Amino acid sequence: STTLYVGNLPYAFREQDVADMFERYGRLRKVTVQIDHYTGRNKGFAFVEFEDRRDAEDAFDKYNGTNVEGRRLKLD
């Protein structure tokens, strides 16, 4: 698949923060971060869609299990 689920995301991250992390591995088609309207923070996960499956696989290999701002990312 060209789409990655990124879980356990730092709550302050916005779409641009996620895009900045992942775009170094290839062209992104779309980044989606759900925002909690009560807290103004994200809900702890995002979806990152790449144009090429191989780029998604490279990003998965790099970031799955990586600590970002004290939170261990869980990719799927």
| 59 within domain boundaries | yes
| 71 within domain boundaries | no
> What is the rounded distance in angstroms from the CA atom of residue 37 to the CA atom of residue 30?
21
What average pLDDT does this structure show over 21-45? 97
What is the pLDDT confidence band of residue 9, given thresholds at 50, 70 and 90? very high
Q: In the prediction, which pLDDT does 25 show?
A: 97
> What is the rounded distance in angstroms from the CA atom of residue 73 to the CA atom of residue 57?
15
Q: In the prediction, which pLDDT does 29 show?
A: 98
Buried b / exposed e along 36-70 (16+ C-beta atoms within 10 A): eeeeeebebbbebebeeeebbbbbbeebeeeeeee
> What is the rounded distance in angstroms from the CA atom of residue 54 to the CA atom of residue 44?
25
In the chain, % of residues over pLDDT 90: 99
| 72 within domain boundaries | no
**Residue 59 is part of a domain; what is its CATH number?**
3.30.70.330
Q: In the prediction, which pLDDT does 24 show?
A: 97
12: containing domain: 3-66
Q: In the prediction, which pLDDT does 72 show?
A: 98
Tell me the pTM.
0.94
